[in-house]
């Protein structure tokens, strides 16, 4: 099993910055990629950013240029640095880790319990 624990959420003013952390523990071997998803009130969970073991990254268009995902493999931790925050960034942010699938099993996704980010004056 893999456990993912997010931290760093909270209240921040528009234009401010916040950094989220996600520490992975347990059976972390074979994790290929980690990322952040978010779910705003009344909306579906969406990908925010994703990073692979070779540090290749992808971002949602809505956050590109403002958010930066990084990964410290030695610490088994992924970070999301959020800058120029907007009220529409308000959501519960979930950490995600993926073990790739193979011929007999599909990819396995692990999820943290989420951390709330509220962007408001």
| Element holding 82 (H helix, E strand) | strand 77-82
What pLDDT score does 107 carry? 93
Q: DSSP class of residue 103?
A: S
Residues 116, 9 contacting (CB under 8 angstroms): yes
pLDDT category of residue 96 using cuts at 50, 70 and 90:
very high
Residue 67's pLDDT is 98
Provide the strand spans (E) within 27-66.
33-39, 46-52, 57-59
Distance (Å, rounded) from C-alpha 60 to C-alpha 66? 10
> Quick one: what percent of the chain has pLDDT higher than 70?
100
Average pLDDT over residues 71-95: 96
Question: At 73, is the pLDDT very low, low, confident or very high (cuts 50, 70, 90)?
Answer: confident
**Average pLDDT over the chain, rounded to whole?**
96
Which of 88, 101, 87, 76 lies closest to 21, judged by CA? 76
Instruction: Kindly tell me if the per-residue pLDDT of 93 is higher than 90.
Output: yes
Task: Summarize pLDDT for 18-44 with one digit per residue, the tens.
Answer: 999 999 999 998 898 999 999 999 999
């Amino acid at each position: 099993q893999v456990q993912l624990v997010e931290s760093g959420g909270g209240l921040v003013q528009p234009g401010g910055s916040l950094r989220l952390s996600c520490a992975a523990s347990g059976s972390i071997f074979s994790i290929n990629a980690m990322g952040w998803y978010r779910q705003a009130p009344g909306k579906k969970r969406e990908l925010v950013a994703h990073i692979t073991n070779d540090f290749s990254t992808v971002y949602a268009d809505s956050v590109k240029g403002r958010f930066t995902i990084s990964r410290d493999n030695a610490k088994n931790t992924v970070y999301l640095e959020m800058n120029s925050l907007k009220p529409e960034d308000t959501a519960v942010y979930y950490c995600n880790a993926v073990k790739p699938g193979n011929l007999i099993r599909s990819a396995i996704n692990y999820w943290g319990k989420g951390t709330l980010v509220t962007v408001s004056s």
